[in-house]
């Protein structure tokens, strides 16, 4: 867990907001050192970077490369498999006053899994996702939601210890071997699918066929041209997601060579 927390803190440096704040702090140091021209330049760069990262144009440009090979699925053409593997990330954990997991922006993953099961694409659902700080595991929170949607508990297997995508794949591989599964439908967000499928393919080492079923597509469509250049918190969030995935994919490829 300590390593996990360290990785989470280090990942903050990837986000445009953190980078902009760091540049502004640097500009204050430069101003204190009487490097005023350089300090002003640094502040302007910080603001320009924050503005660009908050536009739909930049967010969509980054997300295009991540999502281009994982379009919205045509469910009728998806082959049947032995299991559906749903990766964590669709809930924000428990909140004060609530008794179920709070759904977040990636909740489409759960809806996609529900539809696959209802269409009899696989008889088994594996939910993977651990718990932060000893809380309730994300896998169990997703189970409660799927049960409420009508999925029988006997069709669900939980993997409740994983703390990242690589750990998801390693622990899920053991379950798949126990279930003698040879083909799975991997469900996660489209922007995350490139990294997730690469890790699962690498971990399962051709023992299991991994069929990607992407959901939660992030690229906007039909926005007026002018508004695509107007900064917003939503676009900053999408840019942050994309940058995290781009860096994460590169890091995993280096570490799993």
pLDDT tens digits, one per residue of 131-141: 866 678 899 99
Instruction: Assess whether 40 and 79 both reside in one domain.
Output: no
Task: With respect to residue 141, please indicate whether it lies within any of the assigned structural domains.
Answer: yes
3-class SS of residue 183: strand
Q: 128 and 7 in one domain? A: no
**pLDDT surpasses 90 at 96:** no
* 83 & 49 share domain: no
Same domain? For 82 and 112 the reply is yes
178-228 confidence digits (pLDDT tens):
999 999 999 999 999 999 999 999 998 878 999 999 999 988 776 666 688
What's the CATH code of the domain at 146? 3.40.50.620
**Cβ(81)–Cβ(211) below 8 Å:** yes
Q: Is residue 160 part of a domain?
A: yes
Q: 200 with 96, same domain?
A: yes
Q: What was the pLDDT predicted at 47? A: 97
* Domain presence at residue 244: no
Structure tokens belonging to residue 38? 């350089």
Q: For residue 120, is it within any domain?
A: yes
Residue 241: inside a domain: no
pTM of the model: 0.88
Domain of 92, in residue numbers = 75-215
Q: What's the domain count of the chain?
A: 2
Give CA separation, 15 vs 21, 28, 160, 181, 231, in Å: 10, 20, 28, 38, 16
Nearest to 242 by CA among 24, 61, 72: 61
Same domain, 112 and 48: no
Record the tokens describing residue 178, joined without a space: 């126990």
């Amino acid at each position: 867990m300590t390593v996990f927390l360290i990785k989470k803190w280090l990942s903050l440096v990837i986000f445009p907001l953190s980078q902009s704040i760091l540049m502004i702090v640097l500009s204050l140091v430069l101003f204190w050192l009487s490097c005023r021209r350089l300090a002003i330049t640094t502040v302007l760069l910080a603001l320009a970077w924050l503005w660009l990262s908050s536009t739909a144009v930049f967010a969509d440009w980054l997300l295009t490369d991540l999502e281009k090979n994982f379009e919205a699925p045509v469910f009728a053409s998806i082959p049947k498999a032995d299991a559906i593997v749903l990766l964590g990330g669709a809930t924000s954990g428990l909140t004060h006053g609530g008794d179920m997991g709070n759904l977040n922006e990636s909740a489409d993953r759960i809806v996609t899994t529900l539809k696959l099961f209802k269409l009899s694409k696989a008889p088994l659902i594996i939910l993977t996702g651990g718990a932060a700080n000893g809380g309730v595991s994300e896998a169990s929170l997703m189970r409660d939601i799927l049960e409420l949607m009508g999925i029988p508990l006997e069709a669900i297997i939980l993997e409740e210890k994983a703390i990242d995508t690589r750990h998801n794949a390693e622990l899920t591989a053991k379950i798949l071997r126990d279930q003698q599964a040879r083909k799975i439908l991997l469900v996660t967000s489209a922007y995350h699918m490139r990294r997730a499928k690469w890790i699962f393919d690498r971990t399962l080492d051709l023992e299991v066929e991994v069929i990607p079923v992407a959901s939660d597509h992030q690229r906007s469509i039909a926005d007026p041209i002018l508004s695509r250049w107007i900064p917003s918190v939503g676009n900053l969030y999408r840019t942050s997601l994309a940058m995290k995935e781009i860096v994460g994919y590169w890091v995993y490829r280096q570490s799993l060579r």
